[in-house]
Amino acid sequence: MRIDGLSIGCCSSPVNISFLNVGVRVNLRVTNMLKRFLSDPHFLFRYYLGNAGAFILALACLTAYSPWFDMALYWPWIVLLLPLALGGLVTVILCGLSYTILFFFMSRQPLHDWYILLPFLGILFGLYALAFVHLAGHHALGRNWLSRLIGELLSVPLLIGYPGWCVIHTLHHKHTDDPILDPHPTGEKDFLEFGGFMKKAMIDRIGDLYKKTFADRKHHRLEWEITKSLLVINRLLRAFFIFLLLNPLGFVLFYVPAFIAQTAFFIHFNWVTHRSTGDGRYQVLNIDKGIYYRVINTLLFGAYYHKNHHLLPGLFDPRNLDRNNGVE
């Protein structure tokens, strides 16, 4: 398989060693998460179990001292957290619309003019949270402890576990566009199809790797099923935590736009920068033509310079590698 004239390892395709070495060298710290995952069968189990315990404790405190929360009144909001946290793009958007209807139907507090700013601030927050988790995953933010701290904190509103995300993202860099090994290969899917496929595919691929690595012990298969359940539970606990923390107004006007924006951007970003050439090959692209791409590249540190990012994953802004490197 070739990426804009560069060969990458996929199936029986040729491998350009110099290209892969660049990625391995710069991405070494992220790869360490993958090494821990492959060497310790309990790595993610411990992480998600510990997180579940911490969020359950936090939720107990918030529900006990929240002056506004009443389960009998807000149970529809809680039920909607399930499709919001686990669904694809269309489902997430429909949940956002449902929350908006619930809010305006149930809200008894006055709405001030400045509240109109909250959705726009939420969208910016969602995009920057995703951008900085990505940068933290590649240790482009400096010291190890700082990258880990930022990654853990900002992964909460994204509803993801930071180490699990690092493992998945490392696999994407190691096996870019491989239909079997890449956790989210675009293939020939259109945007909406990819948006519905991506979240489940990432969990399935990391599960396949876990089972293949620890297939010699049957109890590890059971442990992975428990870990996968804990992953889902953690997404729901994080969503419930944010709901209680922000209250309905902040949740609907700020967080829901943030979550929809980061979900849509993450899907589009991965879909549009990996292009099938129609002959079993794929191109990873730098895109900077048109108002949308120029604005996003300016705000999010060259996010759509994805070819450059794959060449040097540790760069804070991949435009610094070469702004004219096959830009479309």
**Which tens digits make up the pLDDT trace of 126-181?**
999 999 999 999 989 988 899 999 999 999 999 999 999 999 999 999 999 999 99
Is 295 a domain residue?
no
Residue 9 is predicted with a pLDDT of: 35
Residue 30 is predicted with a pLDDT of: 60
Alpha carbons within 13 angstroms on the beta-carbon side of residue 280 total 5
Is residue 284 within 8 A of residue 273, CB to CB? The reply is yes
Residue 109 is predicted with a pLDDT of: 75
State how far the alpha carbon of 76 is from the alpha carbons of 82, 157, 238, in Å: 11, 20, 17
Residue 14 is predicted with a pLDDT of: 29
Is 143 a domain residue?
yes
| Start-end of H helices in the chain | 17-26, 28-39, 43-65, 71-86, 89-106, 117-137, 144-158, 162-174, 191-213, 218-250, 256-272, 291-299, 306-311
Residue 142 is predicted with a pLDDT of: 82
Say how far apart CA 248 and CA 212 lie, in whole Å.
Answer: 44
Residue 10 is predicted with a pLDDT of: 36
Is residue 234 within 8 A of residue 52, CB to CB? The reply is yes
Backbone dihedral angles phi then psi of residue 75, each to the nearest 5 degrees: -60, -35
Q: Is 131 helix (H, G, I), strand (E, B) or coil?
A: helix
Q: What amino acid is encoded at 116 in this protein?
A: I
Is 32 a domain residue?
yes
Is 266 a domain residue?
yes
**Structural domain total, the chain:** 1
Is 136 a domain residue?
yes
Token pair belonging to 278: 């129609």
Closest C-alpha to 103, from 258, 263, 236, 256: 256
pTM score: 0.89
Is residue 71 within 8 A of residue 244, CB to CB? The reply is no
State how far the alpha carbon of 240 is from the alpha carbons of 79, 250, 306, in Å: 10, 13, 33
Residue 29 is predicted with a pLDDT of: 53
State how far the alpha carbon of 121 is from the alpha carbons of 162, 246, 271, 272, in Å: 24, 14, 25, 25
Residue numbers of the chain with a pLDDT score lower than 50: 1-28
Residue 284 is predicted with a pLDDT of: 94
Residue 27 is predicted with a pLDDT of: 47
Residue 120 is predicted with a pLDDT of: 98
The residue range of the domain holding 231 is 2-109+117-284
Closest C-alpha to 265, from 125, 139, 154, 150: 125
Helix (H) or strand (E) holding 7: strand 6-7
Q: What is the CA radius of gyration of the chain?
A: 20
Residue 22 is predicted with a pLDDT of: 36
Residue 5 is predicted with a pLDDT of: 36
Is 305 a domain residue?
no
Is 298 a domain residue?
no
Residue 26 is predicted with a pLDDT of: 39
Residue 281 is predicted with a pLDDT of: 83
